[in-house]
């Protein structure tokens, strides 16, 4: 290879690395900006909430993205003479980011089960799919360390990676989100068709939006490494946006639930015109069948305390509250 060609190749590599750094910084800026924009909602609806599994999952989803992305950002920007320090930063960032993504997936899974009234026909298949996804993600992440290299050329950390294993993790993400969005859309048609309850519509919209966007990003992450592109550095360019989208979009789902849970005991049961009762007594909303006449107008949503006859439903949902 001629010296001029070598110089051009090195220049392209450093330009690609610079572009990746800009993307990572941009992702972090988006996370911080979203946090500042929604901090008032967190303070108003979340900080005074009673402790629950849902609250713990919210905080993990909300703040782990900062830790994981900060580690990956440090890896990209750090100057180190050893591959060991580069490896520690990268592994820590990936493990935390994967864990954060699993938390987001669990939250949307529990929401999906809730809107289906925790029916076994939905709970069990979705649970199996999510367990397979999480376990496979752990195994694949562990196995990929054997093929990843951490070149520290000129003191700059970098990654050389075989993408053969990672594609299967994204394939499972696509499968999980595809099934989830199908379940949500099916139930949304039933619940929203005769109702103009804005918060129920928003709850479904945010849940479906999360699943669709994560599905598309995972699909692109799975396909991109197989596409012939001039610079292989760009093959994993969409992994960071995926981590950010999981956290931000899942927060939107949670804020809707927290907001209407904040209405208090008398808002624990909302009745819409489709003969459906929407309970916000638990951290994860459940929509259940009601015997109320479908002739109610949609101009006013009747708020009623939960009757004794509905106590079995509350007990059934305690595991997600």
Q: What's the whole-number mean pLDDT along residues 158-182?
A: 82
Domain boundaries, the chain: 3-251, 269-320
In this predicted structure, what is the pLDDT of residue 156? 61
In this predicted structure, what is the pLDDT of residue 296? 36
In this predicted structure, what is the pLDDT of residue 46? 92
How far apart, in whole angstroms, are the C-alpha atoms of residue 252 and residue 247? 9
Residue 261 has pLDDT above 60, yes or no: yes
Q: List the single range of 15-19, 188-192, 310-314 with lowest mean pLDDT.
A: 310-314
Residue 200 has pLDDT above 50, yes or no: yes
- Residue 43 CB: number of other CB atoms within 10 A? 10
Residue 318 has pLDDT above 80, yes or no: no
Better pLDDT: 283 or 56: 56
In this predicted structure, what is the pLDDT of residue 85? 74
- How far is residue 146 from each of residues 70, 152, 154, 266, 297, measured CA to CA in Å? 24, 17, 23, 56, 62
Class of domain 3-251: mainly alpha
pLDDT > 90: percent of the chain: 33
Contact 250, 107 (CB under 8 A): yes
Q: What's the whole-number mean pLDDT along residues 270-277?
A: 45
In the beta sheet, which residues pair with residue 79? 156
Better pLDDT: 158 or 235: 235
């Amino acid at each position: 290879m001629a010296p001029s060609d070598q110089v051009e190749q090195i220049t392209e590599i450093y330009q690609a690395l610079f572009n990746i750094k800009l993307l990572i910084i941009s992702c972090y800026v988006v996370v911080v900006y979203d946090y500042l924009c929604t901090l008032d909602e967190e303070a108003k609806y979340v900080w005074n909430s009673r402790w629950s599994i849902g609250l713990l999952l919210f905080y993990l989803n909300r703040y782990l993205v900062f830790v994981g992305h900060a580690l990956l950002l440090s890896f990209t920007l750090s100057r180190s003479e050893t591959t060991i320090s580069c490896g520690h930063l990268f592994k820590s960032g990936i493990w935390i980011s994967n864990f954060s993504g699993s938390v987001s997936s669990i939250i949307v899974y529990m929401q999906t089960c809730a809107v289906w009234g925790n029916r076994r026909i939905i709970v069990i298949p979705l649970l199996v799919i999510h367990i397979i996804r999480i376990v496979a993600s752990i195994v694949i992440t562990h196995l990929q360390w054997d093929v990843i290299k951490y070149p520290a050329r000129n003191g700059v950390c970098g990654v050389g990676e075989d993408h053969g294993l990672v594609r299967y993790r994204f394939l499972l993400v696509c499968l999980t989100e595809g099934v989830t969005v199908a379940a949500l859309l099916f139930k949304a048609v039933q619940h929203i068709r005769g109702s103009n309850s804005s918060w129920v519509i928003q709850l479904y919209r945010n849940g479906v939006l999360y699943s669709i966007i994560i599905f598309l990003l995972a699909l692109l992450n799975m396909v991109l490494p197989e596409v012939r592109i001039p610079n292989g550095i760009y093959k994993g360019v969409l992994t960071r946006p995926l981590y950010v989208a999981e956290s931000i979009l899942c927060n939107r789902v949670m804020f809707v639930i927290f907001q209407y849970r904040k209405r208090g005991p008398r808002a624990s049961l909302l009745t819409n015109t489709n003969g459906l009762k929407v309970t916000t007594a638990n951290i994860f909303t459940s929509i259940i069948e009601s015997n109320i006449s479908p002739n109610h107008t949609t101009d006013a949503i009747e708020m009623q305390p939960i009757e004794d006859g509905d106590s079995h439903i509350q007990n059934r949902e305690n595991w997600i509250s």
